[in-house]
Amino acid sequence: MAELTRLEYYVPKAGKVSLTVSNNDGKHLATLREEMAQEGPHNYSWNTTDLAAGTYFCTYMLDGAVVVKRAVKVK
């Protein structure tokens, strides 16, 4: 994971989107984006400069549907 990581996601139908990050222990670290999004492709540039090396989990939620992806930062 670079200092600036691009998160890409697709919204199949307009709705409330939330992107959050938690650490390996499941502790919520940040809400990166929370908005009403239109249908289509989207992306978010995530600045990871202040994060320590380790494993993180990015959670994408759209109207109750949840997708979790793992991200690893190496120093």
**Helix (H) / strand (E) containing 56:** strand 54-62
In this prediction, residue 74 has a pLDDT band, given cuts at 50, 70 and 90, of confident
Tens digit of each residue's pLDDT (9 = 90 or more) over 41-58: 999 999 999 999 999 999
CA distance 51 to 74: 10
Q: How far is CA 61 from CA 9, 17, 34, 49, 52, in A?
A: 10, 6, 9, 24, 25
pLDDT of residue 3: 84
pLDDT of residue 8: 92
**Higher per-residue confidence, 24 vs 75:** 24
* Structural domains in the chain plus CATH codes: 4-73 (2.60.40.3110)
Contact status, residue 19 vs residue 58, Cβ threshold 8 Å: yes
What global pTM score does this model have?
A: 0.84
